[in-house]
Structures are given as C-alpha cells and as structure tokens.
Amino acid sequence: MVLIAKRDGESLYDHSVLTYEYGMKIIDMLPCIKEERETLKRLCSLPLLLHDIGKAATGFQNVLKSSGNWGGRRHEIISGSFLSNFGLSDEQIFAVITHHKDILNSRGRKILPNEQIDQFDGDTGLLSDMKKQFMENSEEIETLLKELFSYIGFDTDFLVSMKEGLGLADYWLEGSYSSIYGQRKNVDISRIKLASKLRGIIIAADHLASSHHVPVDQIDMKRICITEYPLRFFQKQCMDCHKDLMLIAPTGSGKTEAALLWAQSNQKENSRLFYVLPYQASINAMHERLSQAFGKEKIGVLHSNSISYLYNMQSVDEDKKLDYQKAAQNLSSLAREIYYPVRVCTPHQLLRFGLKGTGWEFLFLEFQNSLVIYDEIHAFQPRIAGLTLATAKLLKNLGAKIAFVSATFPEFIKKLIRDSLGDIEEITPAKKFINEKMTLDEYKSDQEILNRKRHRVTVIEGTLEDNTGKISDEINAGKKVLVIANHVKTVQRIYDLLQDYEPILLHSRFNRKDRRDKEELLMVKESEKPSPVIATQVIEVSLDIDYDVMFTEPAPIDALTQRFGRVNRKGLREPANIYVVERQVSKHNLYNKERVEKTLDLLKEVQNPVDEMNLVDITNKVYEGGYAGEEITEFNFGYQNEEIQHFENNLIAGVSRQWIDELLDKMDGSCEVLPLQFYDEYASLIEKGLWVEARDLLINIRYSMVYDKIEKWEHKESGDEVLLINCQYSRKKGLLTDDKPSNFDFD
C-alpha cells in the first residue's frame, strides 16, 4: 500500500520530498549569513522530511481516501512525537507539532487540542489511540522511511516505534505569559527565537509544496537598470547613501527611482525589498511599475483587495474565469509566504510582524537585512504612523535599512522619524552649488526641479457650486478640467450641475468594478482624456494623470499638493491654473479646520507662479505645531504599543493574534455593502463560483451612514453573508445614500 498525503492521491513520499526541497531552497535564499543558513538546514532536515509522517496513521489514511476528518485528531502531533526517536531538540519537535495550529492560550483562532497534548499523566486515551493507529501501518512506514532517508543520504536502519509523550517539555506548549509552567518562564529567548524560525520555515515549505509553487529565486538588484536617464544630483546622493534615508523630492522629479537606487546600493546577500504605500490604488500602480523593472514573477502585491486586482490583470476568457480566480488567489496568498523577493504593500502588512499576526514568523525570517521604503508616511493616519515608526525601529534592530520618501515632509514628521531611528541621512534636490561634489549639469538638473513652476494658485470666493460658471468657461475653452471636492455628496451634486458636459465622476462609493472602469478611462492617451473629471480626494494618490486646470475645495497644504500634482504633472507646459475655493459645500469638516484656514491664508499670499519650495515652506508653517489634540493620543497609542516596543519580552513561539480585529481593521467604522439592485447578479456569480467578481459589486462605506438601511443576507448554498443595502446605486454617480428604492423582498 502506498501512503498518501493528499486527497488527490499525492503520495506521502512525493509531498515529503517536495517540502524538504522547497525548505532547503527557502533557507538558501534567507537574508542571513551563510553559517546561519547552514545551521538552519541541518536543524530543518529531518523536521521537513518527516513533518507529515503522522498522516501514515490508518485513521488518517482512511479519511484521505474518503471524506470527513480524523475526529479532530492532529496528525502533526504524531509527527512530532515520532521525531523524538531521533534525538531532536525541543525546538525541532515543537516546530513540527505546531506547523498547522498555535499552542495553548494563543490569541489566534486555531490552537492545538488540549486533550491530545496534555502529558501530565502520560499519554491520554486519545493520544494513545492515535499512536496505536500509527503503528498499525508500521511496515508501510518503514518502507517509506527507507526511501526518504535514502533520498537525503541519511544512513540508518530504523525500526518504527513510538515513545510515550510528545518528546518535548510540557511548558513549550503553554502560551500564558504569567504561568510559571509556561514557555516564557522556562525557555531562554534565544531558543524561542530559533523555534519560531524553524516553525516559519516548515510552514512556508509545506504551503509551497502543497500548492506546487517553486520558491522564486532572489533578485540581485545591482544587475537591474533602474533608470536609463542621466541621474539628477539628488538621485546620485541616494545611490551613494549607505544609511537610513529620508528623501524629500517633488512629484515627477524621479524620487521613486532615487529610492530604488538607494535600495540597489544597500542590498546585502538575499535582502528582501518591501515598498510600502498608504493606498491600494497607488500600490497597484507601483506593482505594475516594479514588475516592469524586476519581472512580474518577482513582485508580490499585498493589500485587502489584492485578489481582485490580480484577477482583473489577467486576459479575459469567459471559459477560464475559475482558473483565473484560483490563480489570483494563489498569487495573493504567496505574497504572505516566504516567496517573493520584492513586495508592494500597505503599512498594515508589515505591522503583522510586530503585532504577531498570523504568519509573523515568515517576516521574522525575512526582515533581517531587509530594505524597507515607506512612501508618503505623512498620509498615514496618526495611529498607523505611530505603529509604523515603532515597527521601523524594531526592523532596524534586525539589521534592516529604512527609507522614508515623500513630496511633502512636515518638519514635525522628520523629528518623529529621527527620534525613532536616530542617525538618518536627509536628501533633497540641491539648493546650492557644491563645487567638489557635483557637476554643473547635475546642479542645473536639481535646480530645475526646485524652481519648476507648474502652477498658478488662486484662492477664489464661494464654493464649487458658486463657481460652476467659471468651471464651464474653462471646459468651453477646450481645457481638460479636474474638479475635486472633499465629500462624496458634493461631487455628486457638482456632477448634476455639470451633467450637460458628460463628466466622469470618481469617488469611494463606487463598487470596485465600476471604479476600475472609470480609472481606465482616465488613463487613455492625452488626446482622448475625458473632461471634465469630478472626484473626491481618491484622485490624490490613485492615478498618474495630467490635466490642464483644477478647481478644488480647501484642504491642508499636503493634501492640496497631492491634488496639484494631477495638473501639468511634468511641468512641460506653461504654469497651469489651480483655483482653490474658500468654502466647501458640506458642513462636515473632513480635515483639521485650523490647518485648512492657515493653508488658505498662506496661499493667498504666495507669489505666482509657485515653485516647489513655496509649497514646502507652506507645509512647514501649516504643520509647525505637529499633531494636535486627538491626533497626539492616536499617534502615541500606536508608537507605544506594548507588543512592538517590547517585542522580545513578549515573544512566545507558536503564538499569533487577531491583530487586525484588535487594532487596525475598521478603524474608520467601515463596512462593505451590496445595493439591493445587484442581488440577482451577485447571487448568480456566487452560484457560478465566481466570488471575486461577486465581491467586486460591493461598496465600502462608513457603517454609521447606512446602519438603518442594512439587512444581512446569507446565500443558502454558499454560506456567503453580505450586507444588503436599501439604497439606489447609479453606475454614473455611485451609491446614493439618500435615495431608497423598494423594500427588501427576497422571495
């Protein structure tokens, strides 16, 4: 009889060998010194090869050949116990026993069943029965072991037997911080770290072997051409910088290339690169950009909607949609594994390490000597900024190099970064000529950036509604016009007022399908760009677009600077007109009122056309007081997080936490809803198994805005639960929260 590992009939031998091979390759690509990699290989050899040997038990084999489960029995417990026959360390046995579930008292959802690991009175009845079923296949197991040991050149004649107990001390499986019988009170921190690393390697190798994804080879960035254009002086400075970096450079100046040149120069053997951005749309754009530079097979993308993004990147073939969906799901999962050498992600994904979310052990292995680029940290919410800086400090202790990159960097943010990281090199385009360090051409190239005058900024009276006549004049003059407001209801109102011009409307209350279609319309060649475009602040970060003139509601200077970047983007035309209205339509203040007023006052005094230094000076004046009020509380709440600040003191191997639920998820009180009119389409897609397309019909919105219009609905066959909303939806205008269609009727 051939022992199997999977329901599809894959043999236990094949899966074991594949896990071993992938595990060895993962270790080869880890960013640590060669001696440590060799030690990890030695310690992981038998655990990788025999991590699933417990599946040989008769009960488990019967389950694989039929259906159901082994009565909740955990095969990995038998695997770990069996490995104790080979004199392995507690760390090695622990890694095998916990490669599917956390230990007792973990704050994660999946934990090992207590009745199968409680050894205080020897083997329990259940554990004894599991071992008995294992021994019932002893002849087949001996045959398998001979083949496996022959494969790795392990010379031994082994007679299958099982010792009593699990083969490691009880306290390894107790996760309570306070218990005197727990891991933290009885195990040295160096051993806890080692156990965590071994566990991470086995989990990652097992996942990749199960999905048959060969680990991707590392990138030598020094072999990659980052840019073919002559370097500006500030880009050369970044390339020559071998410290942590704080780069301040205007939009369109080549700051992304500068950051990548810094990464290229600082990469050590097997160093991973993490490029961190605050918004999904900008992450998707950066993923495409880095894919062109490094090859798409090397770049992982990681955010909450990455499956939808990866699914819609693929060619359209109606007959292959289920295959595309599975492929997108696999690629998204791989971004959380030890797989891609480069990842583009939200800051939340890196926080998974410091807050010990599921899979934190992968990052523990990868963060050593890593390169982390945080782009536009000033746009992070104060709590996320605090958590991010605390995490950056932790990563630096692991040998990581950190770069912060932004077009606008308030001085108080700079100070917070320096307070967290200490010595950090600040680089900006050169303000003065340095004979011994730069050529005249390099000086001129930096000066061109600093003195570039792309915009004429005028503060005008009234609201956007009051100025629709002026907006119409610009449209009639043949200009490509961009209108930006702070609230969804405002842009919907402006859309109505300008509907004769057939405008494109873009905001957060479109479903993903419609928003994607609209963004594609904006990315067409210049002569075909739609006009006017009316949008909320989602336009600030989502698209690399270039318009002729802008009308915008007031906002703090950093937000306005991002909006300005969507007009005369490259500065190749005469300065373009930017009109900032004095008052917004909505009575609800999205931004800090004092900062908005100060921004308007300073813009009224600015000399037109403005250059980049004008905007930097205004930013520093607006934010000279730093965080204010509740922002300070939120930042400190994040920065002083106990888990991150005292990472080692709180480290327990085999413990993870529901960190998103506890600290990050739904911080803005948001939820996803389905307008009633899409009920049939959603249900049809679910029945076809196309759940990615179904979920692309959902809309993200603050729960407080629609709580009285929501009803839960569960599709009976799939068990998929959604929140149906009793509001009208328009593909042109998005979700109309004030318009109610018919009452719910599911029959």
| 598 inside domain | yes
202-221 confidence digits (pLDDT tens): 999 999 999 999 999 999 99
Sign of CA dihedral 291, 294, 296, 299: negative
| Pair 151, 38 in one domain | yes
Whether residue 307 is found in the same domain as residue 388: yes
Does residue 156 or residue 65 have the better pLDDT? Answer: 65
Is residue 746 over pLDDT 60?
no
Q: Is residue 745 situated within a structural domain?
A: no
The pLDDT assigned to 702 comes to 86
Q: What is the mean pLDDT of residues 714-742?
A: 80
Same domain, 98 and 115: yes
Q: What is the pLDDT of residue 163?
A: 85
Q: Helix 12-28 to helix 138-152 angle, to the nearest 10 degrees?
A: 30
Say yes or no: 167 and 235 in one domain. no
Residue 653 pLDDT > 50:
yes
Q: How far out from the chain centre does Cα 50 lie?
A: 33
Span 466-488, pLDDT tens digits: 999 999 999 999 999 999 999 99
Bridge partners (DSSP) of residue 724 are 674, 711
Same domain, 431 and 560: no
Q: Per mean pLDDT, which range of 318-327, 394-403, 518-527 is the poorest?
A: 518-527
Other CB atoms within a 10 A radius of the CB of residue 539 amount to: 26
Residue type, position 379, single letter: A
Does position 158 have pLDDT exceeding 90, yes or no?
Answer: no
Each residue of 240-256: pLDDT tens digit?
Answer: 999 999 999 887 788 99
- Note the pLDDT of residue 161: 86
Does residue 405 belong to any structural domain of this protein?
yes
pLDDT on residue 717 = 64
187 and 301 co-located in one domain: no
* 110 lies in the same domain as 258: no
Q: For residues 60 and 174, state if they share a domain.
A: yes
pLDDT range class, residue 391, cuts 50, 70, 90:
very high
Q: What is the pLDDT of residue 420?
A: 94
| Whether pLDDT at 666 is above 80 | no
Torsion-angle region of 153 (φ positive above 0: left; ψ -120 to 50: alpha; else: beta): left
Q: How confident is the model at residue 531 (pLDDT cuts 50, 70, 90)?
A: confident
Domain residues for 174? 12-211
Q: How many domains in the chain? A: 4
Task: Please state which of the ranges 27-31, 160-164, 664-668 shows the lowest mean pLDDT.
Answer: 664-668
Specify the pLDDT at position 380: 86
Residue 744 pLDDT level (bands cut at 50, 70, 90)? very low
Query: What pLDDT is stored for residue 387 in this prediction?
Result: 94
**Residue at which a domain ends, from 399, 431, 448:** 448
Share of the chain above pLDDT 70, in %: 93
Mean pLDDT of the chain: 89
Q: What is the mean pLDDT of residues 543-547?
A: 78
Output the pLDDT for position 108. 54
* 539 and 400 belong to one structural domain: no
| CATH number of residue 431's parent domain | 3.40.50.300
Residue 493 has pLDDT above 50, yes or no: yes
Does residue 645 lie in a domain region? no
Looking at residue 661, its pLDDT comes to 47
Do residue 414 and residue 306 come from a single domain? yes
Examine residue 343 and state whether it is found in any structural domain, yes or no.
Answer: yes
Task: Give me 147's structure tokens.
Answer: 């083949």
Mean pLDDT value across residues 310-339 = 89
Do 198 and 228 share a domain, yes or no? no
Same domain, yes or no: 439 and 467:
no
Residue 497 has pLDDT above 90, yes or no: yes
**Residue 720 pLDDT:** 74
Does residue 539 sit within a domain? yes
DSSP 205-259: HHHHHHHT-PPPPPP-GGGS---SSPPPHHHHHHHH--S-EEEE--TTSSHHHHH
Rounded to 10 degrees, what is the CA torsion of 698, 703, 705, 707? 100
Q: What average pLDDT does this structure show over 432-451?
A: 74
Q: Does the pLDDT at position 175 exceed 70?
A: yes
CA–CA separation, 626 and 636 (whole Å): 13
671 falls in which pLDDT band (50, 70, 90)?
confident
Q: Name the domain boundary from 425, 448, 471.
A: 448
Q: pLDDT digit string (tens) for 405-433?
A: 998 888 999 999 999 999 999 999 877 66
* pLDDT tens readout for residues 82-105: 999 999 999 999 999 999 999 976
pLDDT of 704 above 90: no
Distance CA 555, CA 550 (A): 14
Averaged pLDDT, 314-323: 83
Q: Is residue 282 part of a domain?
A: yes
The answer as to whether 540 is a domain residue is yes
Which of these three, 169, 193, 211, is where a domain ends?
211
